Amino acid sequence: MLKRCFPVFVLMASALVWSSCRKEGFLAATTTTNLDEKTVFSDSSRTVGFLANIYSNVGLSTSLSRFSYNYIVCGGLEAACDEAEPSHAFSTPATQFATGTVNAGIIGEEPYKTCYSNIRAVNVLIKNLPNAPLRQAYKNQMLAEAHFLRAWYYAILTEHYGGVPLVGDTLLTYDVPIVAKRSTYADCVDYILSECDAAALTLPATQTGLNYGRASKGACLALKARVLLYAASPLFNGTTLPSDAGGAGVDPALVGYPAYDINRWKEAEIAAQAVIALGVYSLNPSFQGLFPLRVNTEYIFELMRPGGNSDLENMCLPPSRGSNGTGSFPYQGLVDAFPMKNGKPITDPASGYDPNNPYKDRDPRLDYSIIHDQTVLLVRTGNGQTNGSAPVNIYVGNYNGVLTGQDAVHQGTITGFYNNKMLDPAAIAGTLSFGSNRVLPQMRYAEVLLNYAEAANEYEGPTGNVYAAVEAIRQRAGLDPYQLPIGLTKDDMRTWIQNERRLELAYEGHRFWDVRRWKIALQTENVQSQGMEVNRNGTAATYKLFNVTKHNFRPAMYLWPFPLSETGKSPELIQNPGY
């Protein structure tokens, strides 16, 4: 039974549980346990439950437990790029993309299958909603939410594959021939924008109270801004991917816009400005305090979770705090990307960085995002009470009489670090009674500010508004001074914005896509990843880098391959370049 947290969307055990049990991607029929469409949509609670189930997969792309092998979680997109090491070396898309071994024969069917199954469910809802026993005003809102959700799932598909088949309102069946022909990337973008525009006409600017977590006008505008930003980016705007990846026979229009147009940056800027102009979102005063909050002014669209969830703590905390060790482990490269508290990169001789005390006076987001040796965490008892705090001992050796323990590098962590992003200090791993009320952000205001800054910089250059957007995030982070250097060029500002995205949005599913759409993955992903070994003897400490996984990248990996299970039964589904 799906556990959603909209009281109006509660799914009872007797309600419909819609699933896709067949492996036909978007051809998959929507099936039920023991109810047909007439039975479901003649009942109001089952109708809203049907919509709730479509919401349940909106976090597909960003989930930290996205990839698994035989039910063992190995990580999410952060473990498929230069952010983190998977918890296990099993063959999943995380390791396949990291090591450059991904191909159409081994890639999983998701997100293709999951997205099209949910798109079909939206179409089922749109078809049947007029006859449901609900007030017309409520039907109108549900219809608008359905259009947003359809746009959301198509956006996930396009970021993975480029142009994909657009099926409109059609309910595909198995008694007529089905053509899975790809639409152009431009047509997919236009369709997503039109769905967002249609939904935004009806939905309120934000959702509050019992409706919190449902699609809003703000979510529609924010999704438009994201999609347009991607469309304006180098990977898609004047694409050369077919020739880069050795796929000369692939029509460039399927994977992007064949001709570059600087006005796409302008459109992305305007779209992000529209979200800002709503005046209903703002940065939470505390970066650390943001993520445990269920309701806040920064989240624009979120995956709702049941109260008392502790799955992130289960995956990510050190073993001494009850973790099962299935979370991914941050790389040294991500740690090094965080500047000093004075805002200067650690490579700047004037930054004050001390390699013999590497975590002192760093950007506060480092401690809030990554657990390193001697990070102090609360210690909690089985009844949920705080029993003081204690450092996490990741070192090797003997520190003031305390020997290496279960949290140590090479033992509890592969890289010498644990993820701390979005964890709730009040939650206890492995419990429900002392879990978190957190929900998981899918779009938040900090991303919109960075989207605006990037698009405006590319179209207009580093204007005062670009500076202001980036500096607002740096100020909230606690940098002092938070101001960027004056007189930056467009290229300089681009570098600062890209690094701010890396830090602010770490572990939220952005980095994997960002380095691809910027078309810099040949540099960022062809790297030897590293960890940090801390050796302690008494009070003395030494820090030694060590190699982890060698990452490999080839141009084909800018997009995902369509799984052979789909191209095999649909020859008209043209494979992406290089696969």
Backbone angles phi, psi at 329, to 5 degrees: -115, 125
Asked if 295 contacts 388 with a C-beta cutoff of 8 angstroms, the reply is no
Retrieve residue 322's tokens: 């009850």
Residue 2: exposure state from Cβ atoms within 10 A (0-12, 13-18, ≥19): middle
Retrieve residue 114's tokens: 């999951």
Radius of gyration of the chain (CA): 24
Residues 6 or more apart whose CB falls under 8 angstroms from that of 469 comprise 449, 450, 452, 453, 456
The secondary structure of 111-155 as a DSSP string is THHHHHHHHHHHHHHHHHGGGSSS-HHHHHHHHHHHHHHHHHHHH
Give the Cα separation of 229 and 341 in Å (integer): 30
Give the Cα separation of 41 and 125 in Å (integer): 8
Res 174: pLDDT: 61
Give the Cα separation of 274 and 41 in Å (integer): 36
Retrieve residue 1's tokens: 């039974």
Asked if 515 contacts 81 with a C-beta cutoff of 8 angstroms, the reply is yes
Asked if 250 contacts 576 with a C-beta cutoff of 8 angstroms, the reply is yes
Q: Chain centroid to CA 410: how far?
A: 28
Asked if 40 contacts 80 with a C-beta cutoff of 8 angstroms, the reply is no
Give the Cα separation of 327 and 318 in Å (integer): 10
Q: Chain centroid to CA 457: how far?
A: 24
Res 12: pLDDT: 26
| Count of other CB atoms within 10 angstroms of residue 301 | 21
Res 130: pLDDT: 97
Spell out, as residue ranges, where the chain has pLDDT lower than 70. 1-34, 174-178, 382-384
- The amino acid at residue 314 is N
Res 178: pLDDT: 67
Which residue, among 128, 119, 126, has the nearest Cα to 27 in the 3D structure?
119
Residue listed under structure tokens 């109006």: 8
Res 388: pLDDT: 85
Torsion of CA 474, 478, 484, 490, to 10 degrees: -20
Residues 6 or more apart whose CB falls under 8 angstroms from that of 307 comprise 5, 435, 437
**What b/e string do you get for 482-521 counting C-beta neighbours within 10 Å, with b at 16 or more?**
bebeeebeeeebbebbbebbbbbbbbbbbbbbbbbbbbeb
